[in-house]
């Protein structure tokens, strides 16, 4: 009997080794990894430059606390600000913590810098922002909130891409609007570009902050280093985790210069924020992404993957739509996909869901054309067989 809480619905697979796009289980079975730990191992498994940086750091220093200067933190932060619209970085340990920091910064900026007392954050239905009490309250899905009442006040949800509903929700307590540019957990739904531009204009007009949750879309995943770059807008605050550390647990909250005075000494913190080991992984990950042109490669590979999927799945009655951006791809099916995921695993391909009816594909950003061809062939075979079986029952 396991000594762990049963909080994860685990697949019946024990993975013990990984390299590049491949994983192996404890029985020696090989898998093509198109889930990358849910968009985490974005350079593939055990990338050489990141491994070397971690090995080197392990021989030097692990932890000293943020009461001392940390050169790795400074290096990683500068790489992030040099390659984004942000001016300052707060490192943390996860995506939920990054979003917590964003929420706290938005409230504190309004209350301590502007002095207006605003605190409400508007978010969107189908969104996912984390599992702490504040971030699950911000999340626009009821299923993550069951059994955790009472939830903290200060969050309002409206439908994505509904400008009238958004404008109606803004009041004198509103501090910020927070959104994902692609709702990955919510089914791989992209924000409408015209709506996003209107949101940015609304924030500017009403004195609100725009927070973009880039936990899953950031770090090259969508074909740009950060997804906001696709839309011609800049957020005031944005958050990162998942792919930022190549599998090492680390997150970051980034903001523009006017917000820096809101986070004074002692206003926010974390014991394990930006340790020498974590920020060594971040710096090496970003350097590798820049050196390998990973975002550009993700853009090209995503176009290839989506095109091949549409071609291979065209006409199948059990496939509703193929959608996505870069290497964040969803295949919406006509029914539940849990059995399809299991069938793909049996054939050596790992994918994940995005809601009950959507297969989510998240290969690493350096995936090869041959690996894409291999994955598409397996997916097409499984979905074709399912379509034939459904047809035979009718």
Of 380, 381, 383, 363, the closest CA to residue 37 belongs to 363
pLDDT at 89: 98
Encode pLDDT of 39-93 as tens digits: 999 999 999 999 999 999 999 999 999 999 999 999 999 999 999 999 999 999 9
- Percent of all residues in the chain with a pLDDT value above 90, rounded to a whole number: 98
β-pairing, 358-361 vs 352-353, is antiparallel
**Taking residues 349-354, what's their average pLDDT?**
97
CB of 309 closer than 8 Å to CB of 332 = no
**Taking residues 188-195, what's their average pLDDT?**
98
pLDDT at 143: 92
Q: Two tokens at 269?
A: 């913190």
Check whether 29 has a pLDDT greater than 90: yes
- Percent of all residues in the chain with a pLDDT value above 70, rounded to a whole number: 100
Beta bridge partners of 155: 121
Alpha-carbon distance values, 109 to 17, 88, 240, 255, 335 (Å): 45, 14, 20, 11, 45
Evaluate the omega torsion of the peptide bond into residue 150 and state whether it is cis, within 30 degrees of 0. yes
pLDDT at 391: 82
pLDDT at 1: 86
Where do the domains of the chain lie, and which CATH numbers do they carry? 15-33+293-393 (3.90.1150.10), 48-291 (3.40.640.10)
Mean pLDDT of the chain: 97
Encode pLDDT of 134-182 as tens digits: 999 999 999 999 999 999 999 999 999 999 999 999 999 999 999 999 9
Check whether 394 has a pLDDT greater than 80: no
Phi/psi of residue 378, nearest 5 degrees: -65, -45
Which residue is associated with the tokens 């955790």? 148
User: SS3 sequence, the chain?
Assistant: CCCCCCCCCCCCCCEEEEEECEEEECCCCEEEECCHHHHCCCCCECCHHHHHHHHHHHCCCCCCCCCCCCHHHHHHHHHHHHCCCCCEEEEECCHHHHHHHHHHHHHHHHHHHHCCCCCEEEEECCCCCCCCHHHHHHCCCHHHCCCCCCCCCCEEEECCCCHHHHHHHCCCCEEEEEECCEECCCCCEECCHHHHHHHHHHHHHHCCEEEEECCCCCCCCCCCCCHHHHCCCCCCEEEECHHHHCCCCCEEEEECHHHHHHCCCCCCCCCCCCCHHHHHHHHHHHHHHHHCCHHHHHHHHHHHHHHHHHHHHCCCCCEEEEEEECCEEEEEECCCCHHHHHHHHHCCEECEECCCCEEEECCCCCCCHHHHHHHHHHHHHHHHHHHHHHHHHC
The residues annotated with a catalytic role in the active site are: 128, 213, 242
pLDDT at 68: 96
Encode pLDDT of 83-101 as tens digits: 999 999 999 999 999 999 9
Check whether 370 has a pLDDT greater than 80: yes
pLDDT at 392: 84
Check whether 127 has a pLDDT greater than 90: yes
Question: In whole angstroms, what is the distance from residue 204 CA to residue 382 CA?
Answer: 49
pLDDT band at 207 (very low <50, low <70, confident <90, very high): very high
**Taking residues 201-230, what's their average pLDDT?**
98
């Amino acid at each position: 009997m396991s000594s762990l809480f049963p909080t994860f619905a685990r697949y019946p697979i024990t993975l013990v080794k990984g390299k590049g796009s491949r994983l192996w289980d404890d029985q020696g079975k090989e898998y093509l990894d198109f889930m990358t730990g849910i968009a985490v191992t974005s350079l593939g498994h055990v990338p050489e430059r990141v491994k070397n940086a971690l090995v080197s750091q392990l021989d030097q220093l692990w932890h000293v606390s943020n009461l001392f200067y940390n050169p790795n933190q400074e290096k990683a932060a500068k790489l992030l600000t040099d390659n984004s619209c942000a001016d300052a970085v707060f490192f943390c340990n996860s995506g939920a913590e990054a979003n917590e920091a964003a929420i706290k910064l938005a409230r504190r900026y309004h209350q301590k810098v502007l002095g207006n007392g605003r605190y409400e954050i508007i978010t969107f239905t189908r969104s996912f922002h984390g599992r702490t009490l504040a971030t699950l309250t911000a999340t626009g899905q009821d299923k993550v909130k069951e059994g955790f009442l009472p939830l903290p006040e200060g969050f309002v949800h409206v439908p994505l891409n509904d400008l009238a509903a958004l404008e109606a929700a803004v009041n004198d307590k509103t501090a910020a609007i927070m959104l994902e540019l692609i709702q990955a957990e919510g089914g791989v739904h992209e924000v409408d570009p015209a709506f996003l531009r209107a949101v940015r204009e609304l924030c500017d007009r009403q004195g609100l902050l725009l927070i973009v949750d880039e936990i899953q879309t950031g770090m090259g995943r969508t074909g740009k280093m950060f997804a906001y770059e696709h839309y011609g807008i800049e957020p005031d605050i944005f958050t990162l985790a998942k792919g930022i550390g190549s599998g090492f647990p680390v997150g970051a909250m980034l903001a523009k210069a006017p917000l820096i005075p809101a986070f004074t000494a002692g206003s926010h913190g974390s014991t394990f924020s930006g340790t020498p080991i974590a920020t060594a992984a971040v710096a090496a990950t970003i350097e590798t992404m820049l050196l390998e042109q990973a975002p550009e490669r993700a853009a090209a590979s995503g176009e290839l993957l989506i095109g091949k999927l549409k071609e291979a799945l065209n006409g199948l009655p059990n496939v509703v739509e193929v959608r996505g951006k870069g290497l964040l791809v969803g295949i919406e099916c006509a029914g539940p996909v849990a059995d399809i995921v299991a069938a793909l695993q049996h054939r050596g391909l790992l994918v994940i869901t995005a809601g009950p009816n959507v297969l989510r594909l998240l290969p690493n950003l350096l995936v090869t054309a041959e690996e894409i061809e291999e994955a598409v062939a397996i997916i097409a075979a499984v979905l074709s067989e399912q379509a034939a079986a459904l047809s035979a029952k009718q």
